[in-house]
Amino acid sequence: MEQFLAAKQSENLSPSTLANYRQHLITPRAATFRRDHGIAGPGDLTPEHLQLFQRELLAAGVSPALTHAYHRVWKNFYRYCLQRGYARDADVLVVRAPKLPLVEPEAFTVAEEVRLLATARPGRDRLLIEFMLRTGLRLSEVVNVRVDDIIDGPDGAYVRVRQGKGAKDRVVPLDSPSHKLSAKIRTYIRNGRPDAETAHLFLSTRRVDGGGGYEALTARGLQIYLYRLGQQTGIHVHPHKFRHTFATRALSAGVDVMALQRVLGHTTLPMVSRYVHYQKDDLLLAWKKRRD
């Protein structure tokens, strides 16, 4: 398992992805299952074992989504073992994952967005909320954006996302006909962002050692801020909810699915298709226009 994790690290996977791999392979729950069923090494794992493990997880109240994650990681690990001769039964890779229920991605309403922006303090906090709503970046990507990643190109302004999930750079447009986010970012950089040695766009509000310079905002710091904002507004505020909101609104505005896939940094269309399933307004409008 440690060899597998080291190999994944060499593929430049994000720290959070590596942590999830480790959790699903070396968690006490997984270790107990292997011990109870005499699975001492990869070669001992059978398709029946993987199916049984999934049934036990679901019976124990583990959510289908988390059970599905266990399935993906275990099969990924087993594929690695097959390629290196540590295992032999390729039928393990044929075991089907538990079916995931189709759940509508949670998104902010317009009224909730207005309340969030009204509650957020002017300056960094308000820009953070707008930035997450208008770009759909992941939490780790938001805190890694640097000042020189904000670019005014000949065809419009965009943010360059460096080495996002999957270690692939991409660009995300900043402006739309109704929102000029790039101008707000430029104003913040000139007048609102404190001087700091780091080039990160978003900084911590506390000085180093109480009186030094400002450091980059961390992922944990952003999570804490969003939690507090949720407490203040009574709205469920979660980093991925901003991403869901961005994606659903982009589709409603007519953005092509392939273009949205590239902007979100998804590797496959099925990962974007779940947003298509829940375009209720478009569905209702099409139903009204039908010919009986």
Residue 89 within any structural domain of the chain: yes
Residue 101 within any structural domain of the chain: no
Quote the pLDDT of residue 17.
82
Residue 247 within any structural domain of the chain: yes
Q: State how far the Cα of 43 lies from the Cα of 81, in Å rounded to an integer.
A: 8
Quote the pLDDT of residue 268.
61
Most confident of 64-68, 131-135, 250-254, 275-279: 131-135
Our answer to whether residue 193 is catalytic in this structure is: no
CB 51 within 8 A of CB 2: no
* Whether the predicted model's global pTM rises above the 0.95 cut: no
Residue 291 within any structural domain of the chain: no
pLDDT in tens, 235-249: 999 988 999 888 888
Q: How many helices (H) and strands (E) does the chain have?
A: 14, 7
Same domain for 11 and 58, yes or no, is: yes
Same domain for 160 and 250, yes or no, is: yes
Our answer to whether residue 240 is catalytic in this structure is: yes
Same domain for 212 and 170, yes or no, is: yes
Least confident of 119-123, 251-255, 273-277: 273-277
Neighbours of 180 (CB within 10 A): 14
Quote the pLDDT of residue 273.
64
Which of these is catalytic: 236, 240, 277, 280?
Answer: 240
- Token reading at 113: 């967005």
The DSSP symbol for 27 reads: S
Same domain for 252 and 131, yes or no, is: yes
Region 75-99: mean pLDDT is 93
Which of these is catalytic: 124, 243, 244, 249?
Answer: 243
Same domain for 255 and 197, yes or no, is: yes
The residue from 69, 94, 119 where one domain ends is: 94
Which residue segment(s) compose the domain that 143 sits in? 110-286
Our answer to whether residue 71 is catalytic in this structure is: no
Residue 151 within any structural domain of the chain: yes
CATH number (domain holding residue 249): 1.10.443.10
Which of these is catalytic: 80, 188, 214, 275?
Answer: 275
Which of these is catalytic: 165, 186, 238, 274?
Answer: 165
Which of these is catalytic: 138, 193, 241, 249?
Answer: 138
Same domain for 187 and 151, yes or no, is: yes
Residue 167 within any structural domain of the chain: yes
The residue from 66, 94, 122 where one domain ends is: 94
pLDDT in tens, 172-226: 999 988 889 999 999 999 999 988 889 999 999 887 766 667 899 999 999 999 9
Which of these is catalytic: 8, 266, 274, 278?
Answer: 266
CATH number (domain holding residue 16): 1.10.150
The residue from 55, 70, 94 where one domain ends is: 94
Quote the pLDDT of residue 252.
79
pLDDT in tens, 33-73: 999 999 999 999 999 999 999 999 999 999 888 899 999 99
Same domain for 46 and 125, yes or no, is: no
Same domain for 139 and 72, yes or no, is: no
142: CB partners within 8 A, 6+ apart: 128, 131, 132, 135, 202, 222, 239
Same domain for 90 and 136, yes or no, is: no
Query: Which of residues 123 and 285 earns the better pLDDT score?
Result: 123
Residue 226 within any structural domain of the chain: yes
Same domain for 88 and 121, yes or no, is: no
Our answer to whether residue 49 is catalytic in this structure is: no
Quickly list DSSP for 179-210: EEHHHHHHHIIIIISPP-SS-BSSEEEEEGGG
Same domain for 68 and 181, yes or no, is: no
Structural domains counted in the chain: 2
Confidence category of residue 269, pLDDT binned at 50, 70, 90: low
Residue 37 within any structural domain of the chain: yes
Query: To the nearest whole number, what is the mean pLDDT of the chain?
Result: 86
Same domain for 208 and 87, yes or no, is: no
